[in-house]
Amino acid sequence: MANQNLKRIILEVVNNQIRDNNPPITKVTLERLKKSGYTEQQAKEKIAAILIEEIYEVLKNGEAYNEERYAKKLSTLK
């Protein structure tokens, strides 16, 4: 994420998802990645990358946010 302002905003969304436990898979993924050896920041950045993919799909295809697709992508993070 080259644009630091965009990075800050996307990470804020990730932090909000974790804080609100909505969707729950975000917090589960954070904990799983941390247990795998990633720092909290690294784990959040990996989650943020998936969030950006989901935002891109929504904008590109003019479709609604798909929580199931987002959760599936998060579950594949290693």
Instruction: Give residue-wise pLDDT tens across range 42-52.
Output: 999 999 999 99
Contacts (Cβ under 8 Å, ≥6 apart) of 10: 1, 48, 51, 52
Contacts (Cβ under 8 Å, ≥6 apart) of 63: 57
Q: Is 77 left (phi over 0), alpha (psi -120 to 50) or beta?
A: beta
What is this structure's pTM?
Answer: 0.91
- d(CA 78, CA 68) in angstroms, rounded, equals 18
pLDDT of 2 over the 90 cut = no
69 and 23 Cβ atoms separated by less than 8 Å = no
Q: Where are the domains positioned within the chain?
A: 4-75
